[in-house]
Amino acid sequence: MNTNVPGINITIGGLLARTALIVLVILWTLPTFGLFVSSLRDKDQLIVSGWWSALSTSQESEQGRTATSDVEVERDGTYVIAGNIFGENTSKSVDTYGGGFLPDTDDVEYAENEQVGIRDYQAGETVDLGDGVTFTLNTDGSYEWVSPIPLEEGRGKRFFVITTIPPTFSLQNYREVLDSEGFGQAFINTFTVTIPATIIPIAVAAFAAYAFSWMEFPGRQLLFVIVIGLLVVPLQMSLIPLLRLYNSIGEFFGVAAKSYPGIWLAHTGFGLPLAIYLLRNYIGGLPREIIESAKIDGASHFDIFVRLILPLSIPALASFAIFQFLWVWNDLLVALVFLGKTDDQIVMTSKLRELLGSRGANWEILTSSAFISILVPLLVFFSLQRYFVRGLLAGSVKGG
């Protein structure tokens, strides 16, 4: 079945491969895309129609209420209460209205049909309320209630409206989440946790990795094998003793058991095995001649490491930095155990988990806060993907 024309390579297999890949890519991106689209939608539309219909208009029924006599004015011998049921600035428009204080019918046949309890009036149509009183609701939501005698209305009358909502996209949900849900603060907290928890382990691990690669000391091999073993030890093995340790240190010194320095050190400890392993793979792979010729010139290991090896290791350091950054940023478990849930300590993952419980049906809040929390990792990921991939490869297929 090959139709191999030079330059054009189309086979049935090739076509199948292409289709399969397109399907996979769509399956993998659609969930995130749906979340993103939804986070930009109007919160009323979000709960009545799927994100894929974001570009079409939707209909909704809602309640309207007239103003009271407080705003009543006299005009040409009549008394008028006027206003707008949508308030200022809306993209909604009225389709039909009726019910409430508006007469359901002036037609007997209509009334017998129990399905139609409410008579629909077209937007702009004037409803006769008898005794010369009329009510009109226009497409833009403005209404006029006109009467020959003063309307003594203390509470405002109720009626129902079918509205059309055009597709609208705005950052309103984001504004709400950042301001009133405290997500802005959580964003800052996450940064506060992540930056030191990324930098400290790199520094500690780089020195250790150099020592494991190029220095002689008793127990070197055994200690490194222990590091390899620690690579896979579940975090769960550490939590309880550390929680107890932190609590007793906190009690002993009269300080808070849950603090930023506490979580920085915890993340440092948990990140070290991978950091040492990755950096040793890289630093140990540097040519021996560099180190030996510097030794002959009388340089100490400290000079060699700081002046020669560290600058050469930047790519490996960057790889690990991205790993650690993403891991700490995305972590939930360590944050739950070592940080409090107060506003000044809660991180975004923890906040999101709370929102999932308490605001599980408020998709406008969930979608926008989830997107805020994944925005920074996505930026880091797409701008530094090369280093990330390099780190992954060094971490798992070294020599294999």
With respect to other proteins, which residue has the nearer C-beta, 28 or 253?
28
- Strand 58-65 and strand 158-165: the pairing is antiparallel
Binding to other proteins by residue 287, rule CB under 8 A? no
With respect to other proteins, which residue has the nearer C-beta, 240 or 314?
240
Residues 67-96 that bind other proteins (CB under 8 A): none
Binding to other proteins by residue 227, rule CB under 8 A? yes
* Interface residue with other proteins, options 10, 171, 231, 312 (CB under 8 A): 231
Binding to other proteins by residue 320, rule CB under 8 A? no
x-or-dash string of contact with other proteins, 244-283, rule CB under 8 A:
xx--------------xx--xxx-xxx-xx--x-------
Span of 134-142, 143-151, 160-168, 386-394 interacting with other proteins by CB under 8 A: 386-394
Binding to other proteins by residue 336, rule CB under 8 A? yes
Q: Contact 320/275 with Cβ under 8 angstroms?
A: yes
Q: Contact 291/214 with Cβ under 8 angstroms?
A: yes
Shortest distance in whole angstroms from residue 282 CB to other proteins: 14
- Per DSSP, the three-state class of 210 is helix
Task: Return phi, psi of residue 263, to 5°.
Answer: -75, -30
What is the CA angle 190-194-195, rounded to 5?
125
Q: Token pair for residue 72? A: 């009543």
Task: Return phi, psi of residue 42, to 5°.
Answer: -65, 140
Shortest distance in whole angstroms from residue 5 CB to other proteins: 16
What is the CA angle 215-216-220, rounded to 5?
100
Whole-angstrom distance, CA of residue 317 vs CA of residue 278: 9
Binding to other proteins by residue 400, rule CB under 8 A? yes
Residues 344-373 that bind other proteins (CB under 8 A): 344, 349, 352-353, 356, 363, 366-367, 369-370, 373
Binding to other proteins by residue 25, rule CB under 8 A? yes
By CB atoms closer than 10 A (0-12, 13-18, 19+), residue 65 is middle
* Interface residue with other proteins, options 61, 63, 180, 385 (CB under 8 A): 385
